[in-house]
Amino acid sequence: MHYNFNEIEAKWQKYWADNQTFKAENNSDKEKFYVLDMFPYPSGAGLHVGHPLGYIASDIYARYKRHKGFNVMHPQGYDSFGLPAEQYAIQTGQHPAITTAENIKTYRRQLDQIGFSFDWSREVRTSDPKYYKWTQWIFIQLFNSWYNKDSDKAEDIETLIATFSSDGNANINAVCDDDIESFSAADWNAFSNKEQQEILLKYRLTYLADTEVNWCPSLGTVLANDEIVNGVSERGGHPVIRKKMTQWSMRISAYAQRLLDGLNTIDWPQPLKDSQTNWIGRSQGASVTFKVLTQTDLPLTPSQGGGTERNPSGQVISDNNQAPSQGKGTERNQSNQSDSDVTVNPSQGGGAAPHYVTGDADLYAMLLDRAKEMRKNPTAAEAKLWEVLRDKKLESKFRRQHPVYKYIPDFVCIEKNLIIEVDGDIHDYQVDEDAQRQLVLEEKKGFKVIRFTNNEVLNDIESVKQKIETTLNSPSLGGGRGEVPSDAREIEVFTTRPDTIFGASFMTLAPEHELVAEITTAEQKADVEAYIQATAKRSERDRMADVKTISGAFTGAYAEHPFSKEPIPIWIGDYVLAGYGTGAVMSVPCGDQRDYDFAKHFDIPIPNIFEGVDISEEAFADKDNTVIANSDFLNGLKYKKAVKLAIYELEKLGQGKGKINYRLRDAVFSRQRYWGEPFPVYYDESGMPQMLNKKFLPLALPEVDKYLPTETGEPPLGNAKKWYWLQYGEEGKVVSKEEFENSSPSGRLGGDLELNTMPGWAGSSQYFNRYMDPHNEDAIFSEEAINYWQDVDLYIGGSEHATGHLLYSRFLQKFMFDRGYVPKDEFAKKLINQGMITGTSAFVFRLDLKDYTDSLDKLVQGRKYSKEEEEEIKKFVQKNNNKILVSKNLLNSEIYPNSDFGSGQLQVFSNFPKLENVLKLRFPELKNLLDGILISVVKLHANVSFINASNELDIEAFKNWLPEYKDAVFILNNGEKYDASSLPLGEGRGGVYTVGREVEKMSKSKYNVVNPDDIVAEYGADSLRLYEMFLGPLEQSKPWNTAGITGVHGFLKKLWKLYHSGENGAFHVSDSPPSEGSGEDLKTLHKTIKKVEEDIENFSFNTSVSTFMICVNELTAQKCTSRAILEPLAILVSPYAPHIAEYLWACLKLGADFNMDNLPADYKGISQVDFPVFEPKHLVESSKEYPISFNGKMRFTMELPLDLSKEEIEAAVMAHEKTQQQLQGRTPKKVIVVPGKIVNIVG
């Protein structure tokens, strides 16, 4: 019998399927083991040989673990939502579900024929409504959760609502939007339902927000950060722009620290952990608040120009021409500042009025004059109260007699929208007018007005003060005047180097920073606006590509250094990114190269604050060797201490605190696609999003006529005729717009459904848990199932998912853990990234010919051709251009010039002298004319299926494939011609055409894709499995070369022969005890058991294939036929080559004539047999072949018993004749003896 792999493999695959051999039970006495592959996206192209690599590795491991007595779950499924099926739908109109189903069928067939031990009863498909029901359910759970920083976990939104209604939000420590105003319990309870919903949305873990997103116009959808590579879309490479859209987002940033910490608890590849760490991007430092100085705060002229400057009010403020950063700061006078603020007249200011100008513009000048008058003559009560309010004594800044609208109230706190009036006697007759004025201020201008009488102020200032304080702290007080935040005149920066704060000689804001317009002075306005426009024009990509160019603009504004109180200029520059930190930096040119370059470029001073460091050439960024100087209280300190002290001092000033910043942003969760999970969300009458009740899930994807966005630019679901939610009580359904509008409003719930769908990672972030109980219709999985299977023990997949799928899955696992659904907060204990299998492209080499007789170079070379010669050349070129293909060995150079190579034939031939000779030989008419032709060599991909193991081209197949070369001339490696005319007798006289080979990514366009179907048909699944493992280490990227498969295929044949040593290759094993032959067979077996076991545990599958080969070679040489050896061997091999192992096992157990269709009822396949146990006693050696080296160089070996002592070994070695020969009479200085290892003689 010969090894008929096709028949064997088909039969046993059927046997496994029929018997559900690999079905895993959810309750078992055995220990569980969960082996998982990243489920594939079923693409139309089907599998190539690179795809199964990881599946084969995991399958070997799963089978091995079954042999080791584990209850192994090894499921498989499909990540079947996604773009390609949708693009195909757009092009052809075929529903993505149909495309997907077809592709899955192909995948399944291809997977089945490789013999995986998948438990297909657990298959999931993300696009199956029964599956995405639970994806929608998870979304609802996220919506109904918030992140409590105090307990450091996600909690039910109800706990938040309970706290709101009992205590307001003052003491809530949550991860939430940053624009939340504080409110009391009373406020909360007084809010309308809509207001409450709006507030809750700012806390939910998935929330609807206007976010700046990466919009890809070509794809018509937004992309997550991890879907963008080098500024263009990962799929298709389309440009991406920033755009504001209302989108669902996931508050993954809440988990930044835990995602980081969790990495220490899992056995994942370091590069993958590194890239997650990088992606999360934690940096520790401080946030520092800089006050922006107003014009009048500045003692000195801000601009570089000379001469006297005027402030906008026309008042001469300085004739001092010193640059501000060099000048001394003068003491600032707070009360002066307050007063002088109002002297700014907006009508002359040039730009937008400063935010504190609240007076009516038309009346402003008049009001201002009156206000000034009034300030000079305060009443006693006003003066007394001013003493309490001025200089921020109550934390909030008050202004007195400050014009507001048409009035001049006594005291105003603009930041808090609070007006304080002191009613003197004089006002008594004015009650009506005051009431009117209050109404206007409160209703129209949004101020709160509180009044005190003169008496109250004069007699009980304490209670007045208290009342003002209470009012100031009341959350009902507005947060300031609309668009201008209360801290508008402060700039917050994040820095990792607070120790270098005294080196900050300027500040830089991102051009997009919200304060830029506000602080820019009139003189600088033009500059700044021009710069902002210039940066806005540049695409993300340009900005990234061009990081060398330094650009920026001065705003004219200054900030106050928190410690030195010096004014420092505020610049804008596009090297500061709006999206990171606060979009502003304190620039320390001496300690940061970018700041340094910027300062150099714009001639900004670079103060040196490092001891003994030269910064004349570049910045000094080395933290470890830092000693701070010129920095007041930080002088002489090292980095760590200086950081601590700087933060401490900043905290004392209230201008900073230690802070940890993360790069990780919340994940945008909406996609404007059709082929994805619909959100279980409708929008009610007030426009607020509402979740569908769980019992209405799944909300199935609607049918649409076309898969493109609607004419109004809405996502494809906008095309659906029925996409309204209509619900009365317990009954709900999806209806058309008409049906909804015609339904009775009484008791009706519902509204239009969400038009976006979920992104690709939605369905893949918990699928590993769904496998545990995939058919459960009441829950995502049962408690019993999750508690039994717990988590994935081994996860194998590609590293390209490092910052996408794998990060989101960890995030969702932690969320599920917080909410008590899963027992583990990391879903996969161990993860391995399989490497990519690259293709080995094949090339033929075409000669491109060009008539060279007219060329200028010809004259330079001084060669002249006769008319006849020129004719001859022209004729030849015309006939043979692009028609001559030469064998690789004629191009005996590593340089293959392409068609652009134009420096003349001389260089071509100096590179390829062999080619020149051959051409002269084969085309005798050209013998003296070759100089007249410009020849360049062009590489062409040839389909790898035409290439044999020796890199020889099947010329006829190639010609059939590319008919344009039907009449081409092939010049073979022996210099012979092979062309249409030389057929059929010519045949190139034994020559062959050798192709060039290069490793490239496997791709259709490179014609180097190898289909596993072909391999399986020709060599069998077991050969494919073995060869994929044999190629090299699992994690490593390595090239596929089909030729090499003969090695492992030959091994399988040898293995077969070992069991078929009978007459005519009949199956034969002997029951005689082992070691009857050479006595070495047990040693061979146990050596193999040991090595294979170690290899599998270490995922070193390539070396165990070698081990099998060695084992079979040895047993063959030993003529082993012993059942005691061959049975364990079959088990050892079975994880790798399960089909042949199953067959041999059946022969061993039932005899070679067993009937596949009628196996004994109690027959157990090889997969259910225990793994052989390694017994060290078989490997005990009595002697060792010692390498004897001299000065570390091995010279010869000698066999010595292992039980010799060091001294005995030394004596034996020294006595050896070869030792004496090596020493040539010298006496060794030293003899190193390592028993059982080596002897080294020094001297």
Partner RNA sequence: GCUCGAGUGGUGGAAUUGGUAGACACGUUGGACUUAAAAUCCAAUGGACAUUAGUCCGUAUGGGUUCAAGUCCCAUCUCGAGUACCA
Question: Which 910-969 residues touch RNA, going by CB under 7 A?
Answer: 949-950
Neighbours of 793 (CB within 10 A): 20
Compare residues 735 and 1111 and give the one whose CB is closer to RNA: 1111
368 part of the interface to RNA, by CB under 7 A: no
- Shortest reach from residue 1157's CB to RNA, in Å: 30
459 part of the interface to RNA, by CB under 7 A: no
577 part of the interface to RNA, by CB under 7 A: yes
Q: Pull the structure tokens for residue 1033.
A: 């280490």
Q: Could you tell me how far CA 72 lies from the centroid of its own chain? A: 31
Residue from the set 99, 136, 495, 905 that interacts with RNA by CB under 7 A: 495
Residue from the set 59, 499, 574, 1028 that interacts with RNA by CB under 7 A: 574
1230 part of the interface to RNA, by CB under 7 A: yes
330 part of the interface to RNA, by CB under 7 A: no
Nearest residue to 953 via CA among 913, 984, 925, 991: 991
User: Helices 1101-1117 and 1123-1133 sit at what angle, rounded to 10 degrees?
Assistant: 160
Q: Pull the structure tokens for residue 569.
A: 């200029």
- Shortest reach from residue 1030's CB to RNA, in Å: 6
258 part of the interface to RNA, by CB under 7 A: no
- Shortest reach from residue 1238's CB to RNA, in Å: 4
Check whether the bond before 715 is cis (ω within 30° of 0): no
511 part of the interface to RNA, by CB under 7 A: no
Confirm if 253 and 280 have CB atoms less than 8 A apart.
no
Q: For 946-1005, give the DSSP string.
A: GB-TTSBB-HHHHHHHSGGGTTPEEE-TTS-EE-GGGTTT-GGGG---BPEEEEE---GG
Residue from the set 275, 453, 855, 881 that interacts with RNA by CB under 7 A: 275
- Cβ-based burial of 197 (10 A; exposed 0-12, middle 13-18, buried ≥19): middle
Residue from the set 84, 285, 403, 678 that interacts with RNA by CB under 7 A: 285
1038 part of the interface to RNA, by CB under 7 A: yes
Compare residues 6 and 453 and give the one whose CB is closer to RNA: 6
Compare residues 146 and 575 and give the one whose CB is closer to RNA: 575
Beta strands in 1137-1228 (DSSP E): 1183-1190, 1193-1201
Cα distances (angstroms) measured from residue 694 to each of 138, 140, 688, 697: 10, 8, 19, 5
Beta pairing partners, 509: 572, 584
Q: Could you tell me how far CA 407 lies from the centroid of its own chain? A: 57
**Site for RNA, residues 594 to 623, rule: CB under 7 A:** 594
583 part of the interface to RNA, by CB under 7 A: yes
Residue from the set 106, 184, 197, 283 that interacts with RNA by CB under 7 A: 283
Long-range contacts of 647-651 (CB under 8 A, 24+ apart): 647/286, 647/498, 649/563, 650/286, 650/288, 650/498, 650/501, 650/562
1102 part of the interface to RNA, by CB under 7 A: yes
- Shortest reach from residue 547's CB to RNA, in Å: 4
507 part of the interface to RNA, by CB under 7 A: no
How far apart are alpha carbons 906 and 908 in whole angstroms? 5
Piece of the chain touching RNA by CB under 7 A; list 153-161, 252-260, 266-274, 606-614: 266-274
1100 part of the interface to RNA, by CB under 7 A: yes
**Site for RNA, residues 1104 to 1133, rule: CB under 7 A:** 1105-1106, 1109-1110, 1113
How far apart are alpha carbons 1123 and 1129 in whole angstroms? 9
**Site for RNA, residues 1065 to 1094, rule: CB under 7 A:** 1091, 1094
Compare residues 73 and 584 and give the one whose CB is closer to RNA: 584
How far apart are alpha carbons 886 and 955 in whole angstroms? 12
**Site for RNA, residues 396 to 435, rule: CB under 7 A:** none
Piece of the chain touching RNA by CB under 7 A; list 84-92, 335-343, 431-439, 1099-1107: 1099-1107
Residue from the set 853, 1041, 1118, 1121 that interacts with RNA by CB under 7 A: 1041
Compare residues 1160 and 1192 and give the one whose CB is closer to RNA: 1192
Residue from the set 354, 581, 689, 751 that interacts with RNA by CB under 7 A: 581
How far apart are alpha carbons 100 and 676 in whole angstroms? 12
Q: Pull the structure tokens for residue 855.
A: 């060329």
Compare residues 235 and 1149 and give the one whose CB is closer to RNA: 235
803 part of the interface to RNA, by CB under 7 A: yes
Residue from the set 883, 1054, 1068, 1123 that interacts with RNA by CB under 7 A: 1054
- Shortest reach from residue 1239's CB to RNA, in Å: 8
- Shortest reach from residue 25's CB to RNA, in Å: 34
* Helix H or strand E encompassing 432: helix 431-439
- Shortest reach from residue 186's CB to RNA, in Å: 40
- Shortest reach from residue 590's CB to RNA, in Å: 12
Cα distances (angstroms) measured from residue 906 to each of 854, 932, 973: 16, 10, 22
- Shortest reach from residue 578's CB to RNA, in Å: 7
1101 part of the interface to RNA, by CB under 7 A: no
In sequence order, what are the residues at sequence separation of 6 or more whose Cβ sits closer than 8 angstroms to the Cβ of residue 1157?
none
Residue from the set 224, 240, 292, 510 that interacts with RNA by CB under 7 A: 510
Residue from the set 68, 445, 663, 824 that interacts with RNA by CB under 7 A: 663
190 part of the interface to RNA, by CB under 7 A: no
1185 part of the interface to RNA, by CB under 7 A: yes
Neighbours of 134 (CB within 10 A): 23
How far apart are alpha carbons 225 and 1226 in whole angstroms? 72
Compare residues 23 and 640 and give the one whose CB is closer to RNA: 640
1194 part of the interface to RNA, by CB under 7 A: yes
- Shortest reach from residue 544's CB to RNA, in Å: 5
Q: Could you tell me how far CA 1033 lies from the centroid of its own chain? A: 24
- Shortest reach from residue 607's CB to RNA, in Å: 16
- Shortest reach from residue 567's CB to RNA, in Å: 20
Half-sphere exposure of 44 (CA within 13 A, CB side): 13
1022 part of the interface to RNA, by CB under 7 A: no
Residue from the set 242, 638, 1195, 1216 that interacts with RNA by CB under 7 A: 1195
Residue from the set 44, 350, 654, 1050 that interacts with RNA by CB under 7 A: 1050
**Site for RNA, residues 224 to 243, rule: CB under 7 A:** 225-226, 229
# chain residues binding RNA, by CB under 7 A: 87
Angle in degrees, CA 760, 763, 768, rounded to 5: 130
Question: Phi and psi for 817 in degrees, rounded to 5?
Answer: -65, -45
List % helix, strand, coil for the chain (3-state, nearest 5).
40, 20, 40
Q: For 640-689, give the DSSP string.
A: HHHHHHHHHHHHHHTSEEEEEE--PPPEE--B--SSSPBPSEEE-TTS-E
Residue from the set 181, 387, 433, 546 that interacts with RNA by CB under 7 A: 546
Neighbours of 500 (CB within 10 A): 29
1183 part of the interface to RNA, by CB under 7 A: no
Compare residues 229 and 980 and give the one whose CB is closer to RNA: 229
How far apart are alpha carbons 870 and 866 in whole angstroms? 6
712 part of the interface to RNA, by CB under 7 A: no
- Cβ-based burial of 674 (10 A; exposed 0-12, middle 13-18, buried ≥19): buried
Piece of the chain touching RNA by CB under 7 A; list 443-451, 475-483, 956-964, 1233-1241: 1233-1241
Check whether the bond before 984 is cis (ω within 30° of 0): yes
Interaction mask 1196-1215, RNA, x per CB under 7 A: -x------------------
- Shortest reach from residue 115's CB to RNA, in Å: 21
How far apart are alpha carbons 636 and 658 in whole angstroms? 21
